[in-house]
Amino acid sequence: MSLSNIFNVSGSAMSAQSLRLNTTASNIANADSATGPDGQPYRAKQVVFKTVPYGDIENSGVKVDQVVEDKSPPRLMYDPKNPLADPNGYVAMPNVNPVEEMVNMISASRSYQTNVETMNTAKNMLMKTLTIGQ
Amino acid sequence: MVAKLDDYLRFNEAALDLRAQRQQLLASNIANADTPNFKARDIDFAKTLQDVLGQQQSPVKPLPAVQMARTSPGHLAGIVPPNNGLDDEHLLYRTVTQGSVDGNTVDMDVERNQFTDNGVHYEAGVTAVNAQIKLLLSAIQPG
């Protein structure tokens, strides 16, 4: 049944996009986490998508290939009262860019919605197919 | 008689099959809208359908890729039907209208437009098959 492959393809895209949304949520939540388990400020994380073939040549799903850490330097904030401040009075803050994260969030949510619609259309087509000959 | 029924329904069957495959292709494009370096693909529906129909009507059919081993004459042959023409010759790449930095060529507006259009055509095909079957039924029923 070739149409049911659409469920696999859209499903893979939905889980990839929800992981991206998860990463964004984690980045936004930790936008001010000046220290973590390793004593370093939180580093923004980004997902990298990759195409994976599903059976035939025309089916290509998505998966998250890897989650990479943003290599840009931490944001320095002047706050001499903070116990984490260096001798010059600066605290290293996470390198999370809130604007970028908001854009990522909207993009991931829209892509997720589109894939849900794709799945619904495929389901309607399958249901219609079942009425052949009735 | 059965061959005649097959011939009668063949065109719509091939068209529906191709529509379903194209739907999968478009779903893959939509799913990969955010994948770096993914190139959107599509088929020329009219040309591919012509090729599929031509291939099925020709007396020499291409050999199936895999045959099942039969240890008794009573076993079914289990012949794999030949590929329906979605090879590299028919799978085309979409022309880029607005390129993106990550090398992805999926244009969401085009893909969704084609996806909906293809879905409606598929349903139209199902309606056509149903009409054909109704015609057959009315022919075999006593008036």
Write out pLDDT tens, residues A63-82: 999 999 999 999 999 999 99
Nearest to B115 among A111, A121, A128 (CB): A121
- pLDDT above 60 for A116: yes
Query: Would you kindly state where each structural domain of chain A is located, as residue ranges?
Result: 5-129
CA B140 to CA B33: how far, in whole Å? Answer: 50
What pLDDT, on a 0 to 100 scale, did the predictor assign at position B133?
Answer: 92
Give B21's contacts in chain A (Cβ within 8 Å): 2, 58
pTM of the model: 0.80
What pLDDT, on a 0 to 100 scale, did the predictor assign at position B56?
Answer: 60
- pLDDT above 80 for A10: yes
- What is the number of other CB atoms lying within 10 angstroms of the CB of residue B41? 20
ipTM exceeding the 0.90 mark: no
Q: For residue B88, what are its two tokens? A: 């590299």
What pLDDT, on a 0 to 100 scale, did the predictor assign at position A25?
Answer: 95
CA B20 to CA A93: how far, in whole Å? Answer: 52
- pLDDT above 70 for B81: no
Nearest to B30 among A20, A56, A115 (CB): A115
What are the DSSP E strand ranges found in B50-93? 91-93
For residue B57, which of B101, B3, B17 has the smallest C-alpha distance? B3
Backbone angles phi and psi of A46, in degrees to 5:
-130, 145
The one-character DSSP state at B75 is: S
CB contact under 8 A, B86 and A58: yes
Question: Which of B29, B34, B114, B140 is best to mutate for the A interface (most A CBs within 10 A)?
Answer: B34
Q: What does the pLDDT look like over B31-66, one tens digit per residue? A: 999 999 999 999 999 998 988 888 765 444 444 455
Cβ contacts of B43 within 8 Å, gap of 6 or more: B18, B21, B22, B25, B86, B90, B91, B92
CB contact under 8 A, B31 and A12: yes
CA A49 to CA A66: how far, in whole Å? Answer: 8
Nearest to A132 among B25, B28, B129 (CB): B129
What are the DSSP E strand ranges found in chain B? 41-43, 91-93
In this structure, is the dihedral angle defined by the CA atoms of residues B137, B139, B142 and B143, taken in order, positive or negative? positive
Average of per-residue pLDDT values in chain B? 84
What pLDDT, on a 0 to 100 scale, did the predictor assign at position B62?
Answer: 47
CA B70 to CA B68: how far, in whole Å? Answer: 6
What pLDDT, on a 0 to 100 scale, did the predictor assign at position B117?
Answer: 96
Cβ contacts of B76 within 8 Å, gap of 6 or more: B68
Q: How far is CA B29 from the centre of its chain?
A: 16
Q: CA dihedral defined by A28, A29, A31, A34, rounded to 10 degrees?
A: -160
